[in-house]
Amino acid sequence: MRYRTLGRTGIKVSPYALGALMFATSVGNPDPDESARIIHKALDAGINLIDTADAYRDSEDIVGRAIKGRRDNVVLATKVSMPMGDDPNQQGASRRWIVTAAENSLRRLRTDHIDLYQIHRPDPTTDIEETLSALSDLIRSGKVRAIGTSTMPASDIVEAQWVAERRGLTRFHTEQPPYSLLNRGIEREVLPTAQRHGMGTLVWGPLGQGLLTGRVRKGGPNELRRAGFFKHLGDEHRLDTVERFISLAEEAGLPLTHLAMAFAIAHPGVTSAIVGPRTMSHLDDLLGGVDVALTDDILDRIDEIVPPGTDVGTLDQAYVPPALQQTHLRRRPVSERTAAHPHAA
Which residues are known to be catalytic? 56
Distance CA 342, CA 13 (A): 62
Distance CA 209, CA 227 (A): 9
The DSSP secondary-structure symbol of 9 reads S
Q: What is the separation of C-alpha 92 from the centre of its chain, rounded to a whole number of angstroms?
A: 17
DSSP lists the bridge partners of residue 13 as: 4
3-state secondary structure of 267: coil
DSSP per position, 76-143: EEEEE-S--SS-TTSSSS-HHHHHHHHHHHHHHHT-S-EEEEEESS--TTS-HHHHHHHHHHHHHTTS
Residue pair 319/121 in contact by the 8 Å Cβ criterion = yes
Distance CA 274, CA 1 (A): 15
Residue pair 89/101 in contact by the 8 Å Cβ criterion = no
Taking alpha carbons only, the member of 196, 120, 132, 130 closest to residue 170 is: 132
Count of alpha carbons within 13 Å of 234, Cβ hemisphere only?
Answer: 12
Using only C-alpha atoms, the chain has a radius of gyration, in whole angstroms, of 21
Q: What is the separation of C-alpha 149 from the centre of its chain, rounded to a whole number of angstroms?
A: 9
User: Which residues make Cβ contacts (< 8 Å) with residue 313, sequence separation at least 6?
Assistant: 182, 232, 235, 237, 238
Distance CA 265, CA 128 (A): 30
